[in-house]
Amino acid sequence: MEKIIEESKQGESLVLENKPENTKKLFIESYGCAMNFSDSEVVASILSDGGYNTTSVLEEADLVLVNTCSIRDKAEQTIRKRLEKYNAVKRTNPKMKVGVLGCMAERLKSQFLEEEKIVDLVVGPDAYKDLPNLLAEVEEGRDAINVILSKEETYGDISPVRLMSNGITALVSITRGCDNMCTFCVVPFTRGRERSREPQSIMAEIQDLWNKGFKEITLLGQNVDSYLWYGGGLKKDFVNASEMQKATAVDFEQLLEMVAAGFPKMRIRFSTSNPQDMHESILHVIAKYPNICKHIHLPVQSGSNRILKEMNRLHSREEYMALIDKIRAIVPDASISQDMIAGFPTETEEDHQDTLSLMEYVKYNFGYMYSYSERPGTLAGRKMKDDVEEETKARRLQEIVDLQQKHAWFRSEEFVGKTVEVLVEKVSKKSKDEFSGRNSQSITVVFPKENYKIGDFVNVKITSCTSGTLKGEAVGLSSMN
């Protein structure tokens, strides 16, 4: 399981259109990966039906929820500080209730509720439908907890309210949980085993988004490439499915084609991929449909075969490089991004050099790079000594970051002189006279507004670049409009 953590979005509070009949106020903050932000939309939808309107003012909230992440120590420390802040406010507003959702909820349930007494309720990722019952328990003065992981729950029957207020892009969850027991990752223990969502409910949600004017969706899961619907249940139980279930099963290649063909004027992204599940057939679907974005996030974590084995990654360096070669051959204009961990237990200087040489081979467009931090509950946390000095981790991480910066410049410069299609998402942060959006390769493009508007697909000729942004001039609307 890979988690892309966008630092700019951490702690974003979710505010929705109010229902006049609702009398209570909900303040909800999200931390971690896109899946957590998507889950917050589900939670807000459930509570909207339970009498809560959202607010961005913490002090006026009746219920404060924080959707948490356990992937890095930094995220946990941030959430603990936020809980201190909530409890300081609660001292002046004793009626306020505080709850923890998501991955930390499952892992630290007894600590939060019984030992530290800093929250009123703890709700795991598969128990959000139980929120109204749990809140009733809290109202009667009892602690409330539900962190049971489900074999079935995908929230396919809930129409999520949309966190992305631009009304242009949206997240659509297609799987939950993960079966890959990577030794550094806590997700299988906090989100459960992998199960997929019924395809027709996915298509219905996308149809609803299309009707509301959305122009781009991201199919979301811990490991989207291993999507497999055969009538419900865990993916690992597919071996016990009936012959009819196996014959009518839908895999990711088929789902991606269904979505792309069904919504030809809507852009399709997906995240996250896992190297051992990214099959060549998926690449041919990406190449076939112009509305499937040509960006593949393909986490590798390390370039060393020895470390990959220690991480329990199910691919080798050579297999990963062969997959990169296939991507370049079948989808030559694809951008590729990475996740990388520096300083995993027992990592030597030779292992680190293997990572740098792999990066030189691929020359990623961009990446998400971290130094290893031991996560309680993971296999590495239980069985491996965190034996790489912090100073060494920091140096190796900086070398990875510096090399990625060099490659990002190289990849950006490849676009100069070319014309790319951009979906206009917002006004540029740096100038109110410019629009900002992303091209198919998920690279940010900035260009003068002229007479275009947010939501337009615009062809932009790239005239200059930085390592992370392309700049250019609009040459007209694209055929996607």
pLDDT of 270-306, one tens digit each?
A: 998 999 999 999 999 999 999 999 999 999 999 999 9
Please enumerate in sequence order all residues whose Cβ is within 8 A of that of 439, keeping only pairs 6 or more positions apart, or say none. Answer: 415, 420, 421, 422, 445, 460, 470
Query: Which DSSP helix (H) or strand (E) runs through 228?
Result: strand 228-229
**Which residue type occupies 263?**
F
Specify the pLDDT at position 34. 81
DSSP bridge partners of 24 = 52
pLDDT of 72-128, one tens digit each?
A: 667 778 888 888 899 899 888 888 999 999 888 877 777 777 777 788 999 988 889
Specify the pLDDT at position 3. 41
Whether residue 4 has pLDDT greater than 80: no
103 labeled part of a ligand binding site: yes
Over pLDDT 90: what percentage of the chain? 65
69 labeled part of a ligand binding site: yes
E-strand ranges in 277-402 read 295-297, 335-342, 366-371
Average pLDDT over residues 21-33: 88
Range with the poorest average pLDDT among 53-57, 309-313, 422-426: 53-57
Which CA distances in Å does 262 have to 157, 203, 217, 266, 380? 20, 8, 13, 9, 43
- CA 443, 448, 453, 457 torsion-angle sign: negative
pLDDT band at 165 (very low <50, low <70, confident <90, very high): low
Say whether 406 sits in a helix, a strand or coil: helix
pLDDT band at 68 (very low <50, low <70, confident <90, very high): confident
Asked whether 211 and 201 are in contact (CB, 8 A), the reply is no
182 labeled part of a ligand binding site: yes
Q: What CA–CA distance (Å, rounded) separates 64 from 88?
A: 12
φ/ψ (deg, to 5) at 429: -65, -35
Q: Which of 335, 257, 269 is nearest to 298 (CA)?
A: 335
Please enumerate in sequence order all residues whose Cβ is within 8 A of that of 183, keeping only pairs 6 or more positions apart, or say none. Answer: 310, 311, 312, 378, 379, 380, 383, 384
pLDDT band at 476 (very low <50, low <70, confident <90, very high): very high
Whether residue 17 has pLDDT greater than 80: no
Helices (H) and strands (E) in the chain, counts: 15, 22
Look up residue 116 and give its two tokens.
């530290």
Instruction: Specify the residue for token string 């603990």.
Output: 80
pLDDT band at 13 (very low <50, low <70, confident <90, very high): low
Mean pLDDT, rounded, of the chain = 90
Range with the poorest average pLDDT among 143-152, 195-204, 213-222, 349-358: 143-152
Query: What angle, 0 to 180 degrees and rounded to 10, lies between the N-to-C axes of helices 317-330 and 280-288?
Result: 20
Asked whether 179 and 261 are in contact (CB, 8 A), the reply is no
Specify the pLDDT at position 1. 35
Q: What CA–CA distance (Å, rounded) separates 443 from 430?
A: 17
Whether residue 12 has pLDDT greater than 90: no
Whether residue 385 has pLDDT greater than 80: yes
Whether residue 56 has pLDDT greater than 90: no
pLDDT band at 256 (very low <50, low <70, confident <90, very high): very high
Q: Which of 108, 107, 104, 250 is nearest to 175 (CA)?
A: 250
Look up residue 312 and give its two tokens.
């329990």
Whether residue 342 has pLDDT greater than 90: yes
pLDDT band at 15 (very low <50, low <70, confident <90, very high): low
> How would you label 221-257 residue by residue, b for 16+ Cβ within 10 Å and e otherwise?
bbbbbbbbbbeebbbeebeebeeeeeeeebbbbbbbb
178 labeled part of a ligand binding site: yes
> Would you give the distance in Å from CA 244 to the centre of its chain?
33
Q: What CA–CA distance (Å, rounded) separates 194 from 177?
A: 4
Say whether 48 sits in a helix, a strand or coil: helix
Specify the pLDDT at position 32. 79
Query: What angle, 0 to 180 degrees and rounded to 10, lies between the N-to-C axes of helices 349-362 and 317-330?
Result: 10
Most confident listed range (51-55, 271-275, 436-440): 436-440
Specify the pLDDT at position 273. 92
Q: Which of 226, 209, 231 is nearest to 218 (CA)?
A: 209
Its pTM stands at 0.85
Whether residue 19 has pLDDT greater than 70: yes
Q: What CA–CA distance (Å, rounded) separates 56 from 15?
A: 6
Specify the pLDDT at position 2. 39
Specify the pLDDT at position 259. 98
Burial class (CB in 10 A: 0-12, 13-18, 19+), 329: exposed
More confident residue, 365 or 159: 365
